[in-house]
Structure formats: C-alpha cells, structure tokens
Amino acid sequence: MSLTKVSGAILKDPLNLGEVSIGGTLTYQDVTNVDSVGIVTARQGVRVTADGSPSSNYISVGASNDLKIYHDSTQSIIADTGTGQLAIRGGVTVSISNPAGTQVMANFINGGAVNLFHAGVNRFKTTSTGAVVTGILTATSFSGNITGDVTGDVTGNADTATVSVNAQGLTGSPNIQVGNVTVTGDLTVQGTTNSETSTDTTVTGIMTARSVNVGAVGGIGVTFDQGGGVFSGIVTSHTVKASKALYLPLYTTTTRDAGSFTQGAVIFNTTVKKLEYYDGTNWKSIPEVSTGLVLALDS
C-alpha cells in the first residue's frame, strides 16, 4: 500500500470512505492545534505533559475557559474562573481521600451525614439533630444553650443555668465564677461554703448546711457546725434564744483586765465565779439573774 502525502486542508472525505481506521500511531509533528467540530474520544486518556499555569498548559472547559485543570509543578489546581458556582454532584457519596485511596479525609453522603476525618479518625459528624464531635472541641466564644455533661472549666456569662434533678454534681477541679444565684427550692450544701467577696447573704426560708464558715476579716468571723456556733468579734441581734443553755465567754480576772471591751460586755469571771458586765469604766458583778433565762456556766 502506497503512502499519499496531502498538502493543504482536507475539507471532506473525497473518496466517501466514511470512517478512517489507523492501526498504528498517528503522529502530528508540526500541528499546533487540533480542532474538532464533534466529539474527540481518547481511549487511553488525555495528557498535558508540561507544567501548567492560569495562562498555558491546562485542560479547559467552557466558552471562556471558565474551568481550568492543571499542575503548576508544586500543586494540582482546579480553578473555576467563570460565573456561578463550582458544583460537585455525587449520586451516593462524594469522598475526598489520600492519593492511594486508603485514608478518607472527608465524605459527604447523599441525604445523610457529613464526616470530617483527622488522620483517618472521624472527628466531626453531622446528624439529623445536630453534630457530634469526637474529642475536644475548643472555641473562643459560645452562644446558645448547653445540655448534657460538661467536664473541665466553664467560664463566661450564662443567662440561665439549669441543673437536672438527678445531677450528681461537678467532677474534677472545675472553676466556677457566679454573679447572682436564685434558688426557688431547697439548697443543700454538703461540705463548706465560702463567701470571699459577698457583702450580704439573704435567705428567705430555711438554709440547711452541715457546716458554714465565714472567713475572719479583721478578727471577725463565725463558724457553725453540728456542735454549735463560734463567733469571733461582735454579734448584734434583736433576739437571742437558747433552747437549752447560753454559754458566755470565760475570763479570769487577769485576762479580763488585760482585754479590751466596750460598754455592755458580759462575761463569766472564773476567778470569783460570778457574772460580770462592763459599764464602760468598771466591771460590776451580777449577783443573780431573774429573767427566766437559764445560764449554764462552765468553769
């Protein structure tokens, strides 16, 4: 079979042969562009063997080069430079993985979850009611309601804090800073309640605690426990009622004279075994008590 060399443009098949089959390799040595008005089918792929850029050596789709795919020697790029959006549509699942396909980085399930992976471990998963994070979630700020268990430190401001009836409390070593707390039911404290900066504590009803300690400031303090109450400093009350006995402070004459008192102070002098009160200048004995109050004096 002889080889015929044709110069110029071939506008149509002059022999009306229809399809032309080439059993070997058809090589275009001096052709810059190949223009086809129909479909170009490549059975073994389309290759751009040179590194590309936005202006050369790229695979282009669209009337105005709207979509470009190329490799710029450092990374592979899919560039959508046209109008509208870059839409990726998957029938079942759209998955992004490593080059070998052995480790999934993200997948998007049609009508289902979105999963984000770290080193092959699913760390974030959407559900029909929200999202699930496996591990530690760190945020610089948060807005909304928190339900469920919290482990660690919770700081910031909360409009409303609700604790379920069967809550077992906070575990670990959490730091909680609270401005105002309103309790409409019973408040039970098992342990010690410390008020460092509070000026007043007002309870309407009954407050039950196994022990309450108010730290001494300037020598003034009070401690209540199941054995009774100890006051350091001056206690002022409209009414004092003792169900069994009232115990007054005990002094000897020596320790009494060495102390500092104001008018109205009442003590029991263990040296003379008498009640004494201070009139602002001198100590005077109380010979007897006829008010009906039982005084148990411990010498």
- pLDDT interval class at 298 (50, 70, 90): very low
Domain count across the chain: 1
CA distances from 197 to 133, 178, 179, 187, 217 (A): 38, 12, 11, 20, 11
Please report whether residue 245 resides in a domain. yes
Percent of the chain with pLDDT over 70: 57
pLDDT at position 292, please?
44
Please report whether residue 15 resides in a domain. no
Residue range(s) defining the domain that contains residue 234: 227-299
Token pair belonging to 266: 């009442």
Please report whether residue 6 resides in a domain. no
What average pLDDT does the structure give for the chain?
A: 76
Please report whether residue 221 resides in a domain. no
Query: Please, what is the Cα angle at 238 between 286 and 207, to 5 degrees?
Result: 125
Residue 206: pLDDT above 70? no
Please report whether residue 198 resides in a domain. no
Residue 281: pLDDT above 50? yes
Residue 192: pLDDT above 70? no
Please report whether residue 251 resides in a domain. yes
Which of 100, 98, 117 lies closest to 108 in space, CA to CA? 117
Name the more confident of 246 and 52: 52
pLDDT digits (tens, 9 = 90+) for 207-241: 665 666 665 555 556 666 655 666 666 666 667 77
Please report whether residue 175 resides in a domain. no
pLDDT digits (tens, 9 = 90+) for 82-132: 888 899 998 999 999 998 999 999 999 999 999 999 999 999 999 999 999
pLDDT at position 297, please?
45
Residue 36: pLDDT above 80? no
pLDDT at position 132, please?
92
pLDDT digits (tens, 9 = 90+) for 59-88: 988 888 899 999 999 999 999 988 888 999
pTM of the full structure? 0.46
pLDDT at position 199, please?
61
The beta-strand segments (E) located in the chain are: 59-61, 67-71, 76-80, 93-97, 104-109, 114-118, 121-126, 131-133, 188-189, 208-209, 212-217, 220-225, 228-232, 250-251, 266-269, 274-278, 283-286
pLDDT at position 247, please?
79
Please report whether residue 234 resides in a domain. yes
CA distances from 91 to 88, 112, 120, 132, 150 (A): 10, 12, 23, 24, 39
pLDDT at position 234, please?
65
Distance CA 119, CA 9 (A): 57
Name the more confident of 20 and 298: 20
Torsion angle defined by CA atoms of residues 279, 282, 285 and 291, in that order, rounded to the nearest 10 degrees:
0
